[in-house]
């Protein structure tokens, strides 16, 4: 609930710190005293548009800070804070601050962490619910009526939402499979032609590199053929240097035992023969590798051209051609298996759709039953609020299938008829300001506002009524405030007498400076203010006596 509101330099308020309590708090004061300024300041905290005209004349900036305390944050608040990465320790109050500059622009903070104004607007619905004579949000807005009815019915809307997600997912999977098969069938002839081409040449990973190396070796061999032949002749014949070395080694082997140097010479000669043998082997291998075969070279170049042409056609590397072939085979296999897979997906989608329909039908039935109950409950509240001729109706209309969604198959809207025989219409279309406020009060009492905002504010709901109607309004506001927090801006002494806490708003002038102040009244102050509300400018003894009777009566 709202525990404190600190205002600095907003319109007529220079500095104001208010503390709020649970239960019904009433705010009273003469017309023009500045009650709307409090609501404007609170609106800033809740993400309302920052008008520079709110900054007190002569000041550079204004600010409003509201503190909310909860036993534990409602899911709507904790989820929004989590998504915005705003860190608040368990048990810590929620401190929302808005700062507005006189030259334009504003900044928002939650527990001194900078946040967007959009986040404040997102949190507003869970923090404060404001109802005024020109309210176009809250209970007046049809977008929230379905949720309110579901809460009133205690309906399992989450089951419908879950069933919708499963059905939506199954339908998306089916549509994707159908689109894929249709596209594959359209490409089937082309796939077969491409696959036949690739199968014919049978590409292999690493083949391009091997072919390119072989081609390069052959091209080098053509240039080096003469030199290679000359080098190989060195090893050929009995007169070759290698043959003579071997002959010398045999002779040296016979005499090597005669002297150590001869043995060393033989060892050196043996090493030379071994190295020469290795050179001969490598030279022969090189000559074989560099052999220039014009026909084979032509085959290699033709093969490379074919592979690279296919790679260009399929926009890939040559080494990727085997993968491309496999993908084509898989697509063709999918076409053949598509009908079987599609049948399974159709079956799954139908089952998910039927599960959703059953859940949505059950929710529809619960809504219809709850709607009848809600209509009776609201009807019981209308006469005491001087709305005897009015009628209330919960409209529950089944939507066409293309408009079904996670909230079910219904459109829900609260309708009223203010005169006998008149057609039902939306709340804000035919009700006057005072009627609308009383309708909202009747509806809130009937709903008992399950899961509503932490703080509810009614702005002059009693305008234009008095006597028994004002008493009925006060009694219902007190009932709504039981166990929660409700603030009412009022001109009615009957409503003011019901308050657990009473704030008086006053405006004073000194020279050219006008200020608005707010004071929390004690018991004697309450009696005096209610007497003023009863008698006008001059408080009479009769008015004080009547104020006593009002206070004693509650």
Using the predicted structure, report yes or no on whether residue 450 has a pLDDT greater than 60.
Answer: no
Cα–Cα distance between 445 and 474 in angstroms, integer? 12
More confident: 265 or 60: 60
Cα–Cα distance between 338 and 342 in angstroms, integer? 6
Q: What is the token pair recorded at 205?
A: 């990973």
Residue range 365-372: mean pLDDT, rounded: 95
Using the predicted structure, report yes or no on whether residue 259 has a pLDDT greater than 90.
Answer: no
Region of poorest pLDDT, from 168-182, 365-379, 443-457? 443-457
More confident: 138 or 394: 394
Cα–Cα distance between 352 and 359 in angstroms, integer? 11
Summarize pLDDT for 402-422 with one digit per residue, the tens: 999 999 999 999 998 888 888
Q: Kindly tell me the burial class for residue 99, based on how many C-beta atoms sit within 10 Å of its own C-beta (0-12, 13-18, 19 or more).
A: middle
Summarize pLDDT for 460-493 with one digit per residue, the tens: 877 777 788 888 888 989 988 887 899 999 989 9
Summarize pLDDT for 18-68 with one digit per residue, the tens: 999 999 999 998 877 678 888 889 999 999 888 899 999 889 999 999 999
User: Is residue 276 very low, low, confident or very high in pLDDT (cuts 50, 70, 90)?
Assistant: confident
What pLDDT does residue 431 have? 58
DSSP structure string for 50-71: --GGGBPTT-SEEEEEEEE--S
Residues 6+ apart with CB under 8 A from 96: 45, 46, 65, 66, 67, 68, 108, 109, 110, 120, 123, 127
Q: Is 265 helix (H, G, I), strand (E, B) or coil?
A: helix
Using the predicted structure, report yes or no on whether residue 226 has a pLDDT greater than 60.
Answer: no
Q: Report the percentage of the chain scoring pLDDT > 90.
A: 38
User: Is residue 526 very low, low, confident or very high in pLDDT (cuts 50, 70, 90)?
Assistant: very high
**Could you say which DSSP state residue 454 is in?**
S
Q: If phi over 0 gives left and psi between -120 and 50 gives alpha, with beta otherwise, what is residue 57?
A: beta
Cα–Cα distance between 442 and 387 in angstroms, integer? 10
> In what order do the strands lie in the sheet containing 455-459?
128-131, 455-459, 485-489, 23-28, 501-510, 513-520
Using the predicted structure, report yes or no on whether residue 181 has a pLDDT greater than 60.
Answer: yes
CB-based contact 519:544 (threshold 8 Å): no
What pLDDT does residue 211 have? 87
Cβ burial 237-254 (10 Å sphere, 16+ → b, else e): eeeeebeeeeeebeebee
What pLDDT does residue 293 have? 66
Q: Kindly tell me the burial class for residue 356, based on how many C-beta atoms sit within 10 Å of its own C-beta (0-12, 13-18, 19 or more).
A: buried
Domain map (residue ranges) of the chain: 2-132+460-520, 157-435
User: Is residue 434 very low, low, confident or very high in pLDDT (cuts 50, 70, 90)?
Assistant: low
Residue range 113-137: mean pLDDT, rounded: 81
Using the predicted structure, report yes or no on whether residue 138 has a pLDDT greater than 70.
Answer: no
Question: In the block, which residue shows the tokens 């293309």?
Answer: 402
User: Is residue 540 very low, low, confident or very high in pLDDT (cuts 50, 70, 90)?
Assistant: confident
Compute φ and ψ for 547, nearest 5 degrees: -60, -40
Of 385, 534, 514, 507, whose CA–CA distance to 458 is shortest? 385
What pLDDT does residue 336 have? 73
What pLDDT does residue 106 have? 92
What pLDDT does residue 215 have? 77
What pLDDT does residue 426 have? 86
What pLDDT does residue 236 have? 66
User: Is residue 289 very low, low, confident or very high in pLDDT (cuts 50, 70, 90)?
Assistant: low
Cα–Cα distance between 252 and 254 in angstroms, integer? 5
Residues linked to residue 320 through DSSP beta bridges, in sequence order = none
Cα–Cα distance between 279 and 286 in angstroms, integer? 10
Whether domain 2-132+460-520 has CATH 2.60.40.1180: the reply is: no
Region of poorest pLDDT, from 122-126, 431-435, 487-491? 431-435
What pLDDT does residue 110 have? 94
Q: What is the token pair recorded at 113?
A: 């962490």
Residues linked to residue 515 through DSSP beta bridges, in sequence order = 508
Residue range 90-99: mean pLDDT, rounded: 92
Residue range 289-304: mean pLDDT, rounded: 76
Cα–Cα distance between 41 and 149 in angstroms, integer? 32
Cα 49 vs. chain centroid, distance in angstroms?
23
Using the predicted structure, report yes or no on whether residue 552 has a pLDDT greater than 90.
Answer: no
Choose the most confident range, by mean pLDDT, from 179-188, 283-292, 424-433, 543-552.
Answer: 543-552
Q: What is the token pair recorded at 107?
A: 């900044």
Residue range 76-81: mean pLDDT, rounded: 89
CB-based contact 66:152 (threshold 8 Å): no
Residue range 146-159: mean pLDDT, rounded: 87
Compute φ and ψ for 514, nearest 5 degrees: -115, 135
What pLDDT does residue 446 have? 85
Using the predicted structure, report yes or no on whether residue 78 has a pLDDT greater than 80.
Answer: yes
More confident: 495 or 240: 495
Kindly report the three-state secondary structure assignment for every residue of 111-177: CCEEECHHHHHHHHHHHEEEECCCCCCHHHCHHHHHHHHHHHHCCCHHHHHHHHHHHHHHHHHHHHH
């Amino acid at each position: 609930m709202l525990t404190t509101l600190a205002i600095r330099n907003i319109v007529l308020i220079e500095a104001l710190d208010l503390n709020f309590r649970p239960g019904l708090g009433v705010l009273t004061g003469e017309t023009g005293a500045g009650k709307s300024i409090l609501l404007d300041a609170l609106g800033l905290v809740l993400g309302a548009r920052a008008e520079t005209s709110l900054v007190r004349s002569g000041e550079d900036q204004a600010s409003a800070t509201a503190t909310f305390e909860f036993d534990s944050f409602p899911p709507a608040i904790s989820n929004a804070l989590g998504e915005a990465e705003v860190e608040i320790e368990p048990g810590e109050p929620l401190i929302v601050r808005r700062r507005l500059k006189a030259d334009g622009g504003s900044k928002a903070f939650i527990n001194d962490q900078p946040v967007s104004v959009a986040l404040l607007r997102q949190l507003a619905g869970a923090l404060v619910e404001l109802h005024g004579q020109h309210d176009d949000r809250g209970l007046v807005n049809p977008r929230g009526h379905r949720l309110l009815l579901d809460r009133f019915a205690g309906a399992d809307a989450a089951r419908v939402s879950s069933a919708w997600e499963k059905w939506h997912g199954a339908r998306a999977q089916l549509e994707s499979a159908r689109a894929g098969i249709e596209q594959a069938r359209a490409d089937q002839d082309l796939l077969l032609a491409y696959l036949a081409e690739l199968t014919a040449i049978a590409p292999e990973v690493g083949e391009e590199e091997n072919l390119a190396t072989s081609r390069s070796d052959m091209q080098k061999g053509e240039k080096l053929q003469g030199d290679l032949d000359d080098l190989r002749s060195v090893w050929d014949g009995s007169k070759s240097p290698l043959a003579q070395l071997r002959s010398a080694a045999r002779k040296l082997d016979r005499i090597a035992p005669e002297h150590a140097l001869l043995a060393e010479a033989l060892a050196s000669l043996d090493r030379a023969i071994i190295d020469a043998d290795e050179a001969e082997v490598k030279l022969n291998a090189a000559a074989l590798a560099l052999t220039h075969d014009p026909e084979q070279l032509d085959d290699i170049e033709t093969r490379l051209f074919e592979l690279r042409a296919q790679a260009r056609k399929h926009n890939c590397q040559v080494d990727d051609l085997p993968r491309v072939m496999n993908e084509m085979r898989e697509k063709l296999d999918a076409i053949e298996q598509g009908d079987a897979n599609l049948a399974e997906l159709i079956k799954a989608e139908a089952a998910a759709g039927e599960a959703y329909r059953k859940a949505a039908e059950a929710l529809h039935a619960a809504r219809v039953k709850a709607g009848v109950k809600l209509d009776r409950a609201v009807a019981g509240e209308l006469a005491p609020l001087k709305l005897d001729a009015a009628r209330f109706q919960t409209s529950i209309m089944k939507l066409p299938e293309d408009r079904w969604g996670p909230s079910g198959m219904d459109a829900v809207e609260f309708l009223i008829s203010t005169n006998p025989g008149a057609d039902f219409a939306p709340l804000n279309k035919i009700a006057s300001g005072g009627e609308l406020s009383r309708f909202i009060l009747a509806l809130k009492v009937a709903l008992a506002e399950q899961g509503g905002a932490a703080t509810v504010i009614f702005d002059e709901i009693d305008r234009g009524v008095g006597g028994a109607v004002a008493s009925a309004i006060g009694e219902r506001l007190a009932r709504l405030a039981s166990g929660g927090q409700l603030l009412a801006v009022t001109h009615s002494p009957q409503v003011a007498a019901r308050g657990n806490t009473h704030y008086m708003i006053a405006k004073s002038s000194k020279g050219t400076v006008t200020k608005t102040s707010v004071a929390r009244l004690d018991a004697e102050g309450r009696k005096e203010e209610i007497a003023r509300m009863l008698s006008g400018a001059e408080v009479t003894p009769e008015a004080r006596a009547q104020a006593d009777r009002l206070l004693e009566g509650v």
